[in-house]
A and B are shown apart, each in its own frame.
Chain A
Amino acid sequence: MTHDHAHGHAAPAESEPLDEPIKAVYKHLDCLLEGINGLKKVGIRDFTVLSPIPRHEIEQEIYQGEPSPVRWFTLLGGIFGATAIFSLASLTHANWPMIIPGGKPLVSIPPFLVVTFEGTILWGSLMTLVGLLLNCRLPAFDLPKAMHDPRFTNDSFGIVLERTSGHDEAEIKQILQHSGAIEVTGGDGNGGANHG
């Protein structure tokens, strides 16, 4: 599945998948944060927040400052790049042992550091790209339709729940509406129609 689990934790066993995800649309950032808090208070952590811009408040609410694992990709890429390019340069010169005037060593660190530096940056960047794509799960063409709302790339925020997390659908919708959502839609219909 490519959908986002806001906290990375497994959902409760009684969590029911919804045929049609519940979607709340917000015009205000503070209302969105209230909605996220409301869901967290009743123990719901399996939801996705959508936003046209990155906001530290949202990330803090959901991930509590836990750093992204992308950094490991960058580090490993950099180490690989440095090792690979330094080895390429050294093995090339060792494989073709010309007599260098002035008695300079075949494997000379200062001139090889230039290409080693470039290799570090190149592979660090390429692996950061890989880390980004893998962690964001991009390409993500199969995200639920509820997230395909053009307002989320324009001027609105959103919360989408694909599972009930063991809670009553009506209760979830009520939390979202009370937090100030301008529109709450979706669900399997057992919680009543909820247009804000």
Chain B
Amino acid sequence: MSSELSYSRVNRDVMRPLFDMGMHWYGLVGLVVLGLAWGGYCWGIQLVKGLGVAGYHPPVFWGVYITTFVFWIGIGHAGTLISAILFLTRSRWRTGIYRAAEAMTIFAVMTAALFPAIHVGRAWQAYWLFPYPNQRQLWQNFKSPLMWDVFAVSTYFTVSTVFFFIGLIPDIAAVRDTTKGITGKLYTAMALGWRGTDRQWRHYMAAYGFFAALATPLVLSVHSVVSWDFAMAVTPGWHSTLFPPYFVAGAIFSGCAMVITLMLPLAKAFKLEEYIHVWHFEHLAKLCLFTGGILTYAYGTEYFIAWYSDNPYEWDVFVDRVVGKYWWVFLTMVLCNCTIPLLWWFKKIRTSMMGLFVISIIINIGMWFERFNIIASSLAHSFDPGAWVYYTPTYIEWGIMIGSFAWFFLWFLLFVKIMPSVAIAEVKETLRPPLKHEEHAAK
């Protein structure tokens, strides 16, 4: 942070963009509402006509919906990683970006949470996924990874949301003190009477530390549990103990890339470059290089183990991924996740706004295809050659996927206009406090 920053300036700068909905903002909202309408229309058709409108073909009944579900859960990893793990490790570069990254996490999990309901077809019965008392006094099977996933995702969403709102309280109080009328009343209610008293700060800081400590293993566990949705099945290409670390690394990789994609335009548009600058993005890029390296290693290990296992079914799936029907998916994945991000090894590229922005988008394209590669290619090329098929998503599935992006961006656009997208109190903590004896010495 700049040494010229003062406490009052931080308040002013961070709150400046709030409520100031310019034409650009309305334009973007209009665009995402269109996307959302298209997604809603496609989902509406599926609700009326049934899952037959999706491109499912036995034995492929997991396709774009589960791919997109895993994609969004993965995106949701960076926020809590940045806010919790980097808090515990006292990484100073988290301060400027963690608020928006946390918001991104919540919106990503909210987006992912739509997909089990979309995927089951009869969305009105999606509550069957949850454990609930019923007539047969039978609860779900707690030995099923799908059940674990319900617990993992709902816990992750609840804890991340609580952590996010707790972090917001002092900043909402700061916004409250500058707003009037109905807006002021809303912020007054949300600030819960926060005044920054010694008692409030004392317990707040203790609780914040505990939240960070609880959220840290949660970040690592959620995608491990998601990976077990696959790894616990005996399907070739899925049944591997490598999956949890492989999925967690991939999730952090894609999540950090999404933070770059979102924060670069945010910092520019809201003139927050003094708080979110190239130093932050460079750290994110390095984190991507590290997790991308793990991911590339995992891709290689998968192939080695498939070959070394001497299991013809396993090996055949992996060969098919490269030279079979889905070769283009595999190629996209490798290019976007393993090759192009290597350009970030060059400082010039990882400190250039264009280099950061373009590669971050490429990574997210690659990460979507990675999940598609795992899901579709394994199911379409399983044990029985007689059952080998080629699953092609329909416009309904693509439409719903586009709608999910619109849903995510709509929440994010609303967030940046009603909540401080940089953590005011925490940024102030990184500044030198005003000291009278220093001022005297300076004079």
From A52, A71, A111, A148, B210 is in contact (CB under 8 Å) with A71
Q: Which residues of B contact A187 (CB under 8 A)?
A: none
Given A143-B195, A154-B11, are A125 and B177 neighbors across the interface (CB < 8 Å)? Answer: no
Closest A residue, CB atoms, query B140: A92
From B137, B139, B428, A53 is in contact (CB under 8 Å) with B428
Q: How far is A133 from B147 in the complex, measured between Cα atoms in Å? A: 32
Given A88-B131, A147-B195, are A128 and B204 neighbors across the interface (CB < 8 Å)? Answer: no
User: Is A50 close to B, CB under 8 A?
Assistant: yes
Closest A residue, CB atoms, query B138: A96
User: Is A103 close to B, CB under 8 A?
Assistant: no
Whether A28 contacts B159 by the Cβ 8 Å rule is: no
Total interface residues on A, using CB and 8 Å?
A: 67
Whether A131 contacts B197 by the Cβ 8 Å rule is: no
Whether B199 contacts A139 by the Cβ 8 Å rule is: no
Q: Which residues of A contact B137 (CB under 8 A)?
A: 95-96
Closest B residue, CB atoms, query A63: B202
Whether A153 contacts B173 by the Cβ 8 Å rule is: yes
Q: Which residues of A contact B210 (CB under 8 A)?
A: 70-71, 74, 124, 128
Q: Which residues of B contact A68 (CB under 8 A)?
A: 202-203, 205-207
Whether B204 contacts A131 by the Cβ 8 Å rule is: no
Q: Which residues of B (193-241) have their CB < 8 Å from a CB of A?
A: 193-207, 210-211, 214-215, 217-218, 221, 225, 228
Q: Which residues of A contact B11 (CB under 8 A)?
A: 153-155
User: Is A188 close to B, CB under 8 A?
Assistant: no
User: Is A21 close to B, CB under 8 A?
Assistant: no
Q: How many whole Å from B329's CB to the nearest CB in chain A?
A: 30
Q: How far is A160 from B416 in the complex, measured between Cα atoms in Å? A: 35
Q: How many whole Å from A24's CB to the nearest CB in chain B?
A: 14
A34-77 CB contact bits vs B (8 Å, 1 = yes)?
00000000000000111111110011001100011011001000
Q: Which residues of B contact A112 (CB under 8 A)?
A: 142-143
From A58, A121, A139, A147, B155 is in contact (CB under 8 Å) with A121
Q: Which residues of A contact B428 (CB under 8 A)?
A: 52-53
User: Is A170 close to B, CB under 8 A?
Assistant: no
Q: Which residues of A contact B436 (CB under 8 A)?
A: 27-28, 30-31, 180
User: Is B192 close to A, CB under 8 A?
Assistant: yes
Whether A155 contacts B218 by the Cβ 8 Å rule is: no
Q: Which residues of A contact B6 (CB under 8 A)?
A: 155
Q: How many whole Å from B401's CB to the nearest CB in chain A?
A: 28
Q: Which residues of A contact B218 (CB under 8 A)?
A: 121
User: Is B270 close to A, CB under 8 A?
Assistant: no
User: Is B178 close to A, CB under 8 A?
Assistant: yes
User: Is A108 close to B, CB under 8 A?
Assistant: yes
Whether A30 contacts B155 by the Cβ 8 Å rule is: no
Q: How far is A62 from B200 in the complex, measured between Cα atoms in Å? A: 13
Whether A152 contacts B214 by the Cβ 8 Å rule is: no
Q: How far is A71 from B207 in the complex, measured between Cα atoms in Å? A: 8
User: Is A135 close to B, CB under 8 A?
Assistant: yes
Q: Which residues of B contact A58 (CB under 8 A)?
A: 198, 201
Q: Which residues of A (73-108) have their CB < 8 Å from a CB of B?
A: 74, 85, 88-89, 92-93, 95-96, 108
Q: How far is A131 from B166 in the complex, measured between Cα atoms in Å? A: 12
Q: Which residues of B (225-259) have their CB < 8 Å from a CB of A?
A: 225, 228
User: Is A18 close to B, CB under 8 A?
Assistant: no
From B163, B177, B193, A139 is in contact (CB under 8 Å) with B193
Q: How many whole Å from A155's CB to the nearest CB in chain B?
A: 4
User: Is B326 close to A, CB under 8 A?
Assistant: no
Closest B residue, CB atoms, query A100: B143
Whether B159 contacts A121 by the Cβ 8 Å rule is: yes
Q: Which residues of B contact A117 (CB under 8 A)?
A: 217, 221
Q: How far is A89 from B199 in the complex, measured between Cα atoms in Å? A: 40
Q: How far is A147 from B198 in the complex, measured between Cα atoms in Å? A: 12
User: Is B27 close to A, CB under 8 A?
Assistant: no
User: Is A195 close to B, CB under 8 A?
Assistant: no
Q: Which positions in A face B, CB cutoff 8 Å?
A: 2, 4, 6, 27-31, 48-55, 58-59, 62-63, 67-68, 70-71, 74, 85, 88-89, 92-93, 95-96, 108, 111-112, 114-115, 117-119, 121-122, 124-126, 128-129, 131-133, 135-143, 147-148, 150, 152-155, 180
Q: Which 3 A-B pairs have the closest CB atoms?
A: A140-B193, A150-B177, A68-B206
What are 23 contact pairs spanning A and B, CB under 8 A? A4-B198, A28-B439, A52-B196, A58-B198, A68-B206, A70-B206, A89-B142, A92-B138, A96-B137, A111-B143, A115-B151, A117-B221, A118-B151, A118-B152, A124-B210, A138-B192, A138-B193, A141-B188, A143-B195, A147-B195, A147-B197, A152-B195, A153-B177
Q: Which positions in B face A, CB cutoff 8 Å?
A: 6-8, 11, 131, 137-140, 142-143, 147-148, 151-152, 155, 158-159, 162-163, 166, 170, 173-174, 176-178, 188, 192-207, 210-211, 214-215, 217-218, 221, 225, 228, 425, 428-429, 433-437, 439
Given contacts A132-B166, A141-B192, A154-B177, 17 further A-B contacts (CB under 8 A): A28-B436, A29-B434, A48-B198, A50-B195, A51-B198, A52-B7, A115-B148, A115-B151, A121-B159, A122-B159, A125-B158, A125-B162, A125-B163, A140-B194, A148-B195, A153-B174, A154-B7
